[in-house]
């Protein structure tokens, strides 16, 4: 097998770029600029390297290697458009320049333009570039691996049932990862890629098996992509352990993997976000607060992050929930108000309503609940949201918190009509029936919820619902068991990963 220098490798849209081959010829002055540029690049002085490569290109504008190398500088500086332009210029000068195709494919793949859409121009271009590399070098392991990763990004179990085009992409990705392992059986990252593919396809058991195989070779992963790459594999396995249902298993495997990922890479925001969700489901409120405060401190120099999608405002919302559950109502109110100040959410208004109800501030509670209802109702009336079932469920939770159980039942029923395996909606439908005293219908809803949670591999929550069933004959059910969720379990949040 031909051994090639790896300029980059992906695990889950991670791009770690190195320096390309430097066998450059030319005038002495040009070579001096090249050597100095290489030295600055390796030191991490990318602006200085860029300056030197500009000088070298001015001396010899027909040297394809220089454009490739300057393109790598642009990538690490975050200027993907100029990077792609330089890789394209290198290819224009040498139509068989496989490394430029490879680097351009990586730039298309991981340059921040990927939208995870079913039809994505950048994804198609990345596939075309990796395919060209493979045509030029049929044993280029990294090209197969990265093409498999791009194919995988078109797939997500949210979009089931899959059409034939997506099935083809799944099969193409699987074939690419298998080809990598045929060429190099020790290439652990191909197992991580297959694990990610199985996760996205909804085959969580096979996903776990592949991640386990990858993590048998931790040292090899570190050599390939550093500790950050290893952290990404642990994070990905933790996400897969959740089985696509964004819950915590009773053996805490997912939480432990998220924590391991954070230990390896304390800046891995996806793992930090997901472990926050795990702490929420486990009721580890002090850990949740500590984790959110850490994330807010980590991004303190990025004020724009506070209002970005799934940004800092969601950390304040999570903290509001935690403080509410700890009985620290003033802190809860403060954090929910911070969310509303930054980016108003239904969860923040509903949370405020619940806290105000708890402390007897009924007028404030009504005002907050009304705003939560208004937000969800406007989305329902618009009718264009992708997961409309989650909006009906969310509005149902607000009605439940307001003790308007008939309206809650209507919304939970609508959510179930739109998503027949919606275990959370069945669970809360049962609670709403208990609210109106209909134990027979509550029992039926709870039984269905338990079956669905167990089918989905979510025995942790199934046991919670069984606790409700066990208390059906009691004169009263403990308040904490009947409490409304402030934030729906599967409305799009920081703790989910498409």
Give the pLDDT confidence score for residue 478 in this predicted structure. Answer: 57
pLDDT at 477: 60
Q: Structural domain boundaries of the chain?
A: 28-244, 385-498
Say if 28-244 and 385-498 have the same CATH topology.
yes
Residue 149 has pLDDT above 80, yes or no: yes
Segment 447-462 shows an average pLDDT of 83
In the predicted model, is pLDDT for residue 458 greater than 90? no
Q: What whole-number distance in Å separates Cα of residue 412 and Cα of residue 428?
A: 7
Whether the per-residue pLDDT at 26 is higher than 70: the answer is no
Q: How far apart are the first and last CA of the chain?
A: 36
Here the tokens at position 7 are 């300029």
In which band, very low, low, confident or very high, does the pLDDT at 39 lie, cut at 50, 70 and 90? confident
Cis bond upstream, residue 92 (ω within 30): no
Considering only CA atoms, which of 276, 253, 273 is closest in space to residue 458? 253
As a 3-state breakdown, the chain gives helix, strand, coil percent values, each rounded to 5, of 70, 0, 30
Task: Sort 422 into a burial class: Cβ within 10 Å, 0-12 / 13-18 / 19+.
Answer: buried
Q: How far apart are CA 335 and CA 319, in angstroms?
A: 6
Confidence bin at 19 (pLDDT 50/70/90): very low
Q: What percent of the chain has pLDDT over 90?
A: 62
CB 20 within 8 A of CB 69: yes
Tokens standing for 249? 């298993």
Crossing angle between the packed helical segments 423-435 and 439-455, to the nearest 10 degrees: 160
Q: Where are the beta strands (DSSP E) in 53-159?
A: none
Q: State the pLDDT at residue 12.
A: 26
If pLDDT is split at 50, 70 and 90, which confidence band does 359 have? very high
For residue 24 the two structure tokens come to 């450059």
Residues 190-229: tens digit of each pLDDT: 999 999 999 999 898 899 999 999 999 999 999 988 999 9
Cβ proximity of 56 and 63 under 8 Å: yes
pLDDT at 1 over 90: no
Rounded mean pLDDT of 439-448?
Answer: 95
Which of these, 403, 477, 382, lies nearest to 439 by C-alpha position?
Answer: 477
DSSP class of 305:
G
Cα–Cα distance between 318 and 16 in angstroms, integer?
32
Give dist(CA 421, CA 444) in Å, integer.
14
How far is Cα 470 from Cα 148, in angstroms, rounded to an integer? 48
Listing DSSP states for 414-440 in one string gives HHHHH-TT-HHHHHHHHHHHHHTT-HH
The band of 412, judged by pLDDT with boundaries at 50, 70 and 90, is: very high
Q: What pLDDT, on a 0 to 100 scale, did the predictor assign at position 118?
A: 42
**407 touches 437 (CB < 8 A):** no
**With bands split at pLDDT 50, 70 and 90, how would you rate the model's confidence at 254?**
confident
Pick 28-244's CATH classification: 3.40.1410.10, 2.160.10.10, 1.25.40.10, 3.30.1330.60: 1.25.40.10
Whether the Cβ atoms of residue 413 and residue 429 lie closer than 8 Å to each other? yes
Q: What is the pLDDT of residues 160-171, one digit of tens each?
A: 788 999 999 999
Whether 486 has a pLDDT exceeding 80, the answer reads no
How far CA 95 is from CA of 58, 150, 470, in Å, comes to 22, 23, 71
pLDDT digits (tens, 9 = 90+) for 112-146: 444 444 457 788 899 999 999 999 999 999 999 99
Q: Please tell me the predicted confidence (pLDDT) of residue 7.
A: 39
The pLDDT value given to residue 375: 96
**Among 188, 151, 142, 191, which Cα is nearest to 171's?**
151
| pTM listed for this prediction | 0.78
> Given a cut of 80, is residue 29 above it in pLDDT?
no
- Classified by CATH at the fold level, domain 385-498 comes out as 1.25.40
Higher per-residue confidence, 98 vs 7: 98
């Amino acid at each position: 097998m031909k051994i090639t220098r790896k300029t980059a490798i992906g695990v889950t849209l991670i791009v770690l770029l190195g320096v390309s081959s430097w066998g450059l010829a030319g005038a002495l002055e040009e070579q001096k600029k090249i050597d100095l540029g290489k030295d600055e690049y390796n030191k991490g002085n990318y602006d200085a390297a860029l300056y030197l490569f500009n000088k070298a290109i001015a001396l010899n504008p027909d040297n394809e290697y220089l454009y490739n190398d300057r393109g790598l500088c642009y990538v690490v500086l975050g200027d993907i458009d100029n990077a792609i332009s330089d890789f394209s210029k290198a290819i224009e000068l040498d139509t068989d320049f496989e490394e430029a195709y490879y680097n351009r494919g990586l730039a298309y793949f991981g340059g921040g333009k990927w939208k995870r859409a079913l039809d994505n121009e950048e994804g198609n271009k990345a596939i075309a570039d990796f395919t060209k590399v493979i045509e030029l070098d049929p044993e280029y392991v990294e090209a197969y691996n990265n093409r498999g990763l791009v194919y995988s990004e078109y797939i997500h179990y949210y979009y089931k049932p899959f059409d034939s085009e997506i099935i083809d992409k799944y099969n193409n990705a699987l074939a690419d990862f298998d080809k990598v392992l045929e060429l190099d059986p020790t290439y652990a990252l191909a197992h991580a890629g297959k694990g990610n593919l199985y996760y996205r396809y909804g085959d969580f058991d096979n996903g776990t098996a592949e991640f386990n195989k990858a993590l048998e070779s931790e040292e090899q992963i570190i050599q390939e992509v550093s500790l950050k790459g290893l952290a990404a594999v642990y994070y990905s396995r933790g996400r897969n352990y959740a089985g696509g249902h964004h819950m915590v298993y009773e053996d805490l495997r997912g939480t432990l993997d998220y924590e391991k990922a954070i230990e390896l890479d304390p800046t891995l925001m996806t793992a930090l976000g997901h472990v926050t969700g795990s702490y929420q489901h486990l009721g580890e409120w002090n850990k949740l607060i500590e984790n959110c405060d850490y994330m807010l401190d980590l991004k303190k120099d990025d004020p724009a992050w506070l209002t970005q999608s799934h940004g800092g405002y969601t950390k304040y919302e999570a903290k509001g929930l935690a403080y509410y559950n700890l009985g620290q109502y003033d802190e809860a109110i403060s954090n929910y108000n911070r969310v509303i100040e930054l980016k108003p959410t239904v969860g923040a208004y509903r949370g405020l309503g619940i806290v105000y109800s708890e402390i007897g501030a009924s007028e404030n509670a009504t005002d907050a609940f009304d705003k939560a209802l208004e937000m969800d109702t406007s989305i329902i009336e618009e009718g264009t949201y992708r997961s409309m079932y989650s909006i009906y469920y969310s509005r149902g939770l607000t009605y439940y918190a307001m003790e308007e159980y008939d309206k809650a039942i209507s919304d939970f029923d609508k959510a179930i009509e739109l998503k027949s395996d919606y275990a959370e909606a069945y669970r809360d439908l049962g609670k709403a029936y208990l609210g109106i005293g209909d134990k027979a219908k509550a029992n039926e809803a709870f039984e269905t919820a338990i079956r669905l949670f167990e089918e989905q591999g979510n025995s942790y929550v199934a046991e919670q619902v069984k606790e409700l069933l066990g208390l059906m004959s009691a004169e009263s059910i403990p308040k904490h068991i009947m409490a409304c969720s402030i934030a729906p379990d599967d409305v799009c949040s920081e703790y989910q990963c498409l």
